[in-house]
């Protein structure tokens, strides 16, 4: 099985540099253009299944990149829940800037009522298990930067992902063979369409 995992296009909260988490934040005009820029590449493949997080920014990305598809939505593919940080930036919480920096570094938003990496990994594993139980060749998954990161951590480990960029509409390609997931490539949308000025917002949820 080959899995094409796509991060959503630029959202309104990406543009405003706000934490988003489970809050719905629609795509910007640029976000739609980013999703359109990967359409020629994605349209080369016949997908047995197309999945998306149930948040609007991923659904809009899926429907723009693959306009003939109706994605199956699931909350298992949602971004990290960042709790009380939703719709806020570090500037909005000056007395908590150090705590926010630690949460971001450790991928642990439980102090703010959100999720940590173990919780996100557990729900991602539940989703992957549903795929592993099916006889599928190509699968498209539209998700979030945090989900792409968690998948990479699962495969590559903490020490191998520090320099990996995850811009909006990047495409991470994974293979499942003989009970094991591997990562074959991570595609920057700029390489597919140089005119697409993809936003490098890998650090915003």
* Domain extent listing, the chain: 2-81+115-192
Handedness of CA 164, 168, 170, 175 (dihedral sign): positive
Query: Among 9-18, 116-125, 129-138, 189-198, whose mean pLDDT is lowest?
Result: 189-198
Q: How many CA atoms within 13 Å lie on the side-chain side of 140?
A: 31
> For strand 2-7 and strand 72-74, is the pairing parallel, antiparallel, or unpaired?
unpaired
What is the C-alpha separation between 67 and 124, in angstroms, rounded?
25
Strand partners, 183: 174
Element (H, E) at 181: strand 180-187
CB-based contacts of 154: which residues, under 8 Å, 6+ apart? 121, 124, 125, 181
Give the domain 2-81+115-192 fold.
Rossmann fold (3.40.50)
CB-based contacts of 33: which residues, under 8 Å, 6+ apart? 9, 196
Strands (E) located in 16-146? 49-53, 72-74, 138-143
Instruction: Supply the pLDDT for residue 194.
Output: 57
Give tens-digit pLDDT for 69-118: 999 999 999 999 999 999 998 788 878 888 999 998 889 999 999 999 99
Q: Is the pTM of this model over 0.75?
A: yes
Give tens-digit pLDDT for 107-150: 999 999 999 999 999 999 999 999 999 999 999 999 999 999 99
What is the C-alpha separation between 19 and 10, in angstroms, rounded?
13
> For strand 2-7 and strand 49-53, is the pairing parallel, antiparallel, or unpaired?
unpaired
Residues tagged active-site: 8, 79
Of 136, 143, 131, nearest to 65 (Cα)? 143
Instruction: Supply the pLDDT for residue 22.
Output: 97
Strand partners, 51: 72, 141
Give tens-digit pLDDT for 37-64: 999 999 999 999 999 999 999 999 999 9
CB-based contacts of 192: which residues, under 8 Å, 6+ apart? 37, 38, 40, 41
What is the C-alpha separation between 107 and 117, in angstroms, rounded?
6
Residue 205: pLDDT band with limits 50, 70, 90: low
């Amino acid at each position: 099985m080959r899995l094409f995992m796509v991060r959503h296009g630029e959202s309104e909260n990406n543009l405003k540099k706000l934490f988003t988490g489970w809050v719905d934040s629609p795509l910007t005009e640029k976000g739609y253009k980013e999703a359109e820029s990967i359409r020629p590449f994605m349209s080369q493949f016949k997908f047995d299944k197309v999945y998306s997080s149930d948040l609007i920014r991923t659904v809009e990305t899926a429907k723009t990149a693959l306009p003939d598809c109706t994605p199956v939505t699931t909350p298992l593919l949602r971004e990290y829940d960042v709790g009380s940080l939703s719709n806020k930036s570090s500037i909005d919480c000056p007395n908590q800037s150090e705590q926010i920096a630690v949460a971001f570094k450790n991928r642990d938003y439980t102090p703010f009522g959100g999720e940590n990496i173990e919780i996100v990994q557990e729900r991602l594993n539940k989703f992957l298990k549903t795929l592993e139980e099916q006889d599928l060749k190509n699968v498209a998954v539209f998700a979030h930067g945090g989900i792409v990161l968690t998948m990479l951590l699962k495969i590559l480990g903490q020490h191998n992902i520090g320099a990996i960029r995850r811009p909006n509409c990047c495409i991470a390609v994974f293979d499942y063979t003989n009970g094991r997931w591997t990562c074959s490539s991570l595609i920057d949308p700029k390489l597919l369409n140089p005119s697409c000025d993809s936003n490098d917002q890998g650090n915003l949820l």
